[in-house]
Every structure is written in C-alpha cells, then in structure tokens.
Structure 1
C-alpha cells in the first residue's frame, strides 16, 4: 500500500502526501507545520539519500526540497522525480535565487522555487497551487486513459481532425474499416496530414458529412452508403460531431464510421416495397430512398433533395413531412424560381403595412404560416445572392423580420430544399453561397432518374393507368408488350412526369381498351426507328468485320450469342456461317 492510500479519518478523502527534504531540523519542523495546515501528511527527509529511498518506496503528491545541502543537491531529487512515470510537482528552496542551480532547477521542470527565509504565506500559497496542479493533472491523466481505452476498444472507426481537417488521431478500427492498412496511428503519418490526403481506399463519400459538420457546427449523420474501404460490399453509416470552442468557432470534428454491412444485407433480403408515401418503385435506389426518408422523418434536420426535373422531389419532401412528428402541422410549398426576388421575399418573410405600394395591411409570410411544420423550398438554386443572405440569416438565427418591419419574429420551421442543379459546382463558381449550401445540405437525398431504374417502369405504368382511368373516365386495361418495350427503351429526359404525360396522350389517342405503340406520342416511334436502324447497322458491321463469325461478332457488340440471334431475326439479318 502506498502512502497515497491513507484516508482522512474525518472526511474519508484522500490526503495529499508531501515529501519535505532539508538538512536543517528546525526548518523542516517549521515548514512541516505550515504545510500540514493545508490538511496534508508531511514526510521529512534529512538528506538526498534518504529522500531518494522514500521516493522509491512511496508515491507523493508534492516534493519540497532545499537545493544546497551538505550531502548532495536538491537537483538530484528533482531529476529523480522527473524521471518517474507519474512525476509530481517539485518546489525548490534556495538561499541564493540567482545562482545557476536555481535556473537549472526551472529548466529541469521544477514547479516553482522559493527564496530563504521562507515565509508562511509564501510556502502555503505555492504548495496549494502545486497540489491543485497535481490534482488537475491526475484527473486529466485518468480522463485521457479512459478516452484512450474507449478509443482503442470500440469497433467503429474513429478519426479526429482539427478545424483545417488535419488528422489528429485515429484508432485501430479505422485501419480495417477505412482501409488504412499499414498505418499504426499517427506514427505512420507525416505531420499535418490532411484528411483528404489519408490513403483511404474509398471515394470519400464521408467528406460531405465532415465538411457540413464543420461549417454548420452541428452533428451530421448518414446511413447506408457503399464504402470501398475494406471491400466492395461494405456498407457503412457515418456520424460526425463538431468539437466546439464557442457557438461561433469550431475546433475540429470527430468522424465515426460504423460497418453496417450485415444489417444492410439483412434489410436487403426483406421483401422490397413497391410503393411508399405516394412514391412508386421497387428498385434498389427507391428502397434506399424509402429507408432514408423513414430515418430522417423524425428529426428536425434540414434536408437537401437533389434530382432531375420530373423525378418526384416534391413527393420526397411531402413524405418526409408526413412520416415525422410535424405531420399535423402545416406543409407549405413554394417554387423559388416562379417568383421575382421582391415577391419571393414578401411571400417568405411577410411584410408590414406601407412597406411598398399596395401593402395595405400587415401580412404573415410563409415562414410564419409554416411555424411548427415544414417549409419546402423548391428550385432553391435559382434564388438571387441577396435572397441567399436573407435566407441564411433565418436558418442561423431561427428568426425573421418582415419586409419594412424591425421586430424580429421567432419561427420553428423545418426546411426541406430541392434543386436540379449541382450546387457544389455553383459554390465553386461563385453563384451560390458556401455557408448557405452547408446549412441546407445537413443531409442530402438523391432521387435517381427513371433511366437509371428501368425495373420501376412497369409499376409506374400500372399506377398511372389506374390514375388516368379515374381522371378521364376510361376503362383502359393496360399497355401492350410492344408499347411497353418502346417505353422501356426511351431515355426519359423528363423522368416520371414525362411518363405520366406520355400515357395521358396515349389514353386520349386509344380507341380501345389496350394501349398500342401507335397510341404513344410520335417521339417514341421515331426513337424506336432510329434505335432499330442504328442497332441493325452495328450488327451488320460486326458480322462483316468478323467474317460472319457470330460468336466473335457478339463479343464485339458486348452482347451474348443468344441476344445476337434474336436481334438478327428481329431486324431480318442473315449472315453466312464461316
């Protein structure tokens, strides 16, 4: 048992242990009495040898030693203490504070030195400071040890960066999950290595979450995206937490990457849903979108929805609102591209009477009307730089001022924005504010275009046939196989909206109960004819170059032999067998 284990019989607190080293008994007695007045237990040593023996046997919270003694120097005691694993503060006492030994004591790490004669107030003040330093140091060491144990033992990858995204530390799990093979913590990195320069074996999809957390000073979470760190079939979730100094400054961030491949595969095995909250599709892209909406619906985070025109971004926004805790509150939509800057400002923020010609009364804006609910800002990429500044203020402060007014109005609104633009490129080219961009894309959802999920087209066709029958009072039973093939080959630049319009055209042109190719808009016949002519020419060219060898021709066309035979029959092509 060490001296440190002695307990105060009155309070049950650990008593600070002090070693006092001086060759003069009277000085030792006096200093002991002063220090014991702080509630400490003082052990006395008459020379350096005795002090070193006590240091080998026990653990102390403070050492007070004279420098100049007949049998050795207090510098030897200082060196002994500083050479130990858990050094305590050392206060030096000297009769000549300007001599070289006093300077050397400070250079070697002495906490402080006191000149003789030693006054009570002086030794008590220095000892109290030294013991407080010891207490704080020990707490910090314990805290650091606990963090190190957690850092090392968790199964998630942890990477810590400063505000400039320079790597401060990472744990062993980062090597396996993020593919940092061959690196043993910071020892394997050059000083000041940026997060972007880490030898990661992935496409750094977590970069967006990290940048967003740094710029917004808010935690960011994303789930289930494909990560190539340790393998092609690895799916991870990412959580980024800013390390805050103040509300206006971020010291850095900690990024945690969790391998959720097993959970992803389990969910993937579940029967896919054909629809969700008005959206139609059973493709992998739609299943992922459904899952993300479910996870985001219950949190107030701002969401940026990206996708081409006609993909259904408004449906995604409505689903986020309808499936969350704000579903009983207003869901208000505004198309930012459809209004002039002045009108958009008045619509969003409201105005006071007399703010402009025609402002006959105070009017609440859409932010106020959506209080407690959701405001959907469609075509957010089209707003002017001036409007970007005003919108940023509302997002930051959660308050607005009506046009022509001066009184701030607090609002509690969840913002969902949508765009078909590449806002990251607009930021780089100076057309969109970076700070607003990061405020909007706390979480980003991508809506895949129809051409990238062709397996959803039959479901969408069935859905629109049912809707159009009700709308137009028809009884169309469906779409013929040939018409469906034409629809499947089309690139759909207008996406789902264009599909609906094409089917409505077909409903109008169809005199029977089955939609045939002739009932579709002319662009489909033209596209089919062009596609067929082009494919026929490619097959003939491939056969000619390979002297009629169908196997080699199929490989040249990047199709299998059976598909080549089917195409040749379809286009009336015959070729001699080599």
Structure 2
C-alpha cells in the first residue's frame, strides 16, 4: 500500500496510549497510514529539522515544552507546516490564542473521532495543494523540457506546451485530474501521460462509463461478492481494485447518471467504496483521472451533474484545444500519421506535397486529430506509390457536413442591401483563393467546382 500522505504526519502527546489509539484510528478510519509518533515534546524540533513532515498534531498540555510553546516554535521555524492543537479541556480563550499563534485547527480530545480525522485530512489536503502550487510556479519558470511521458503527443503549439507543463507540475499529486475537450482531441493520450508521470510502474485501468446504467456502473467499478445477485456465483474484483495504487481513468464522465455520481463522489471524497452485496467498506489508493467532451458547468445548471462532484474532480483541470486552434501542428501530425500508417498498412512511405497542408489548413476538422488520422489511413490504404494524392482528402472534406466554404457562409452577416450574385461569386472566389494561399486546385475543391471552372472565373475577374 502506498503511504498516505506522501510525507508523514507527526503526532505529539505525552500520553502514549492515546498516541497509539489515535494512530490506529487514522489508519483504519481515515486511510492515513504514514504516521510518526513522539511522546516527548523535546524531540519535535530536532525531528522536523531532519525529516520532511506533512502535518503536526500536538497536545496542549505536556511536560518539558508545552503545546503552546511548541506551536510558537514550529510556526516560527517551519511556517509551512500545518499544526493542529488538541487539548483535553474546552477553553475558548486558549483556542483563540492558539489560532492567533498560527495553529491550523483546534480540537477537544473528547470530540468525535470523525471530526478529528476530518481535521487532519483538511490539513493534509491544504498542505498538498500548497506544495503543488509551489511546484507549478517553479516548473513554469524552469526551462521547458519534454518528459518521456509525452512522446505520443505530437505538438509544437504553445498552448499545448503550457498544458503539458501544468500536468508535469501537478503529477506528484494524488488529487483527481479532469480532462476536457472535444471528441478526437486526444484526451486519452493526456490521461496516459498523467499516469506515466505519476505512477508508471502501477496499473492503468480505463473505463468508458457512457452507457453504463447504475447497476452496471457499480458492478464494473466496485465489483461484487458471491451471491450478490442472480448469476453472481463467485466474487468479482471491480476496476477500482484492479487499479490498486495506479490510475483509474473514467472516460465520458459527463454521461454518468445522478445516482452513479453519488457513488463516485464517495470514492473521490472518502477514497472508500462498497462492492455490490457487501457491507465491508474497502479503501482505494488509485488516482482518478476523468475525461469529458461535454460542458459540465452547463450540466450543473441544468441539474444533470452534481456540483460537489465536479469541484472534486476538477481539482486539476485541463482543456485540450481543438485542432482548428492549433493548425500549426498540421505538418507535424500529417507526417506522424503518414509514417504510422505506412508501417501499419505495409505501404511505401509517400511524399507529402505542400498543397495537402494548404488544403487541410482550410478545413475546420469537426473530428479533430482523430479525424485527421482516419483521413490519412483511408487515403493511404488506396495509395500505390509516389505522392500522397490530394483527391482523397478533397472528397472527405467536401462530403463532410458544413465542410469547405459553407463554414464561411454560415458566419457571414449580410448587409441590408444584398450584393448581386456576381458580386457574391467574386467574394467567394477571392476568399477561397486566400484560404488556399493562391493554389487553384485547393481553392476549386473548397468551392466544389472543377479547376477549369475556377480558372475561367478568375480570368473573367481579372482586369482586361
């Protein structure tokens, strides 16, 4: 089992039975298994000077160095460490004094253990987010370097580089990552990169939750015990347990029903789940990565997605830009997929003409990178030798709804006085030639006419 938190928390109390009891409670009921204990307050500062500690929990009344004195010393020398003060007496003035001295929180020993555990978890999460922000700032200031985890992500786009830098900076975190973006933008590649950055030696388990009803969702993720339902003749481990200390990737999270969202919230928030038919709570150490192509904030407004789940999942959030916003990547992607398809299809590697890149620059790619990949595989499957033919790409573009020049027409705002058909024809030809960078074959494809027909129009338009 991986240690949680990453760095240990330190419990300080001269009552050793309480130390052992609370450490056991943190492990069993809070999943906090990385704990140091000290019954002598004089040991604390030397220990903190030699050991990275996440959070310190100190008793107020101790011999040698009192809790108040120790709080003051820790706050002065290690202001970055959250300190929780626990006392056996309910003294409001002491609580106020401790909070002013820098305590993260203050609890009475006789309070319910659940409240104490929740307080420790808040301190751990607070410290974790603070450290992640520090890592992020230092990473953004550092010289950009491409991690091996990003090998499959082909880009030279500044926005994509910022996205990858961000993922690298937050990779040590245990918090969820939410990947948003249109279909075909490469969200699964991003999820794999997050896994490679975080825990490459551990399993990556991917689940597409779209189409799973509530029962299937629970059984798929959490598994079941023997006899849980008709046909459940043996125990089945769910995807959460299969992910173990690795990564659980949930794709199409926006399609999850509200009932299933409640079950997922418990897993994300408490790191706990119940196999179907069992009353024994299990704990999960897997990092959760989710992806969606829908607007979750709009779904929250429509009452179809839980806000509390969204804010938990979006602790770290990235939006993968569509291909039309990173057109400079087209030459890289075309050559990458041509190389890939040539090997997969056992075809000689064709030459790629500049006109093809120009043609693709004019297209808005509703299916994004995945559509480009499919286009290249389809054209290459019919290719024999020489140059990669443009005709196959023209056919694909013109057969796509709202492909080519129709996108321009949809965006146009007509004046009150309508231009004549002749004027409109001239404007369309000029726009097509501009988009095609002067290439008549490409412009003709955008207009849906032959190159000869376009040539005649251009001659008519030219000054005599």
TM-score, reference length from structure 1: 0.49
Give the Cα separation in 1 of the matches to 2:252 and 2:339.
Answer: 30
Give the Cα separation in 2 of the matches to 1:577 and 1:520.
Answer: 33
Q: Does 1:311 align with 2:311?
A: no
- Residue among 156, 163, 166 paired with 1:292: 166
Q: Does 1:409 align with 2:282?
A: yes
Partner of 2:371: 498
- Residue among 212, 225, 229 paired with 1:356: 229
Give the Cα separation in 2 of the matches to 1:140 and 1:535.
Answer: 62
Closer/same/farther in 2, CA of residues 564 and 542 from structure 1, 3 Å limit:
farther
CA shift, 1:522, in A, is: 1.8
- Residue among 268, 274, 283 paired with 2:157: 283
Describe the superposition over 1:119-155 as per-residue Cα deviations: whole angstroms up to 9, x where unpaired. xxxxxxxxxxxxx98x9999988x59xxxxxxxxxxx
Partner of 2:356: 483
SS at match of 1:280: coil
CA shift, 1:306, in A, is: 0.2
CA shift, 1:328, in A, is: 0.6
Closer/same/farther in 2, CA of residues 505 and 317 from structure 1, 3 Å limit:
same
Partner of 1:192: none
1:353 touches 1:362 (CA, 8 Å); kept in 2? yes
Mapping of 1:170-319 within 5 angstroms? 218=126, 267=143, 276-319=150-193
- Residue among 312, 323, 330 paired with 1:439: 312
CA shift, 1:379, in A, is: 0.4
Partner of 1:5: none
Higher share of residues assigned strand: 1
- Spell out structure 1 runs of 4+ moving beyond 3 A: 135-141, 216-223, 263-267, 270-275, 525-536, 541-545, 563-571, 573-578
Closer/same/farther in 2, CA of residues 571 and 474 from structure 1, 3 Å limit:
farther
Q: Does 1:466 align with 2:339?
A: yes
CA shift, 1:358, in A, is: 1.3
Give the Cα separation in 1 of the matches to 2:363 and 2:250.
Answer: 31
- Residue among 382, 387, 390 paired with 2:260: 387
Closer/same/farther in 2, CA of residues 574 and 433 from structure 1, 3 Å limit:
same
Give the Cα separation in 1 of the matches to 2:179 and 2:366.
Answer: 18
CA shift, 1:367, in A, is: 0.7
SS at match of 1:353: coil
Partner of 2:6: none
Partner of 2:458: 572
Q: Does 1:453 align with 2:339?
A: no
SS at match of 1:387: helix
Question: Which structure 2 residue ranges, 5 or more long, are not aligned?
Answer: 1-91, 103-121, 413-418, 444-453
2:225 touches 2:276 (CA, 8 Å); kept in 1? yes
Give the Cα separation in 2 of the matches to 1:519 and 1:565.
Answer: 17
2:355 touches 2:439 (CA, 8 Å); kept in 1? no
Give the Cα separation in 1 of the matches to 2:236 and 2:358.
Answer: 53
1:371 touches 1:411 (CA, 8 Å); kept in 2? yes
RMSD: 4.5
Higher share of residues assigned helix: 2
Closer/same/farther in 2, CA of residues 388 and 266 from structure 1, 3 Å limit:
closer
CA shift, 1:489, in A, is: 1.3
SS at match of 1:445: strand
CA shift, 1:427, in A, is: 0.8
Give the Cα separation in 1 of the matches to 2:242 and 2:99.
Answer: 50
CA shift, 1:570, in A, is: 10
Larger radius of gyration: 1
CA shift, 1:389, in A, is: 0.5
Give the Cα separation in 2 of the matches to 1:565 and 1:463.
Answer: 24
2:254 touches 2:305 (CA, 8 Å); kept in 1? yes
Partner of 1:344: 217
Closer/same/farther in 2, CA of residues 543 and 468 from structure 1, 3 Å limit:
same
SS at match of 2:289: strand
Describe the superposition over 1:286-328 as per-residue Cα deviations: whole angstroms up to 9, x where unpaired. 111221121122221211000000111010010011022x211
Report how many aligned residue pairs link the two structures.
329
Give the Cα separation in 2 of the matches to 1:530 and 1:354.
Answer: 54
Question: Which structure 1 residue ranges, 5 or more long, are not aligned?
Answer: 1-131, 145-213, 224-236, 240-256
Partner of 2:239: 366
1:220 touches 1:442 (CA, 8 Å); kept in 2? no
TM-score, reference length from structure 2: 0.60
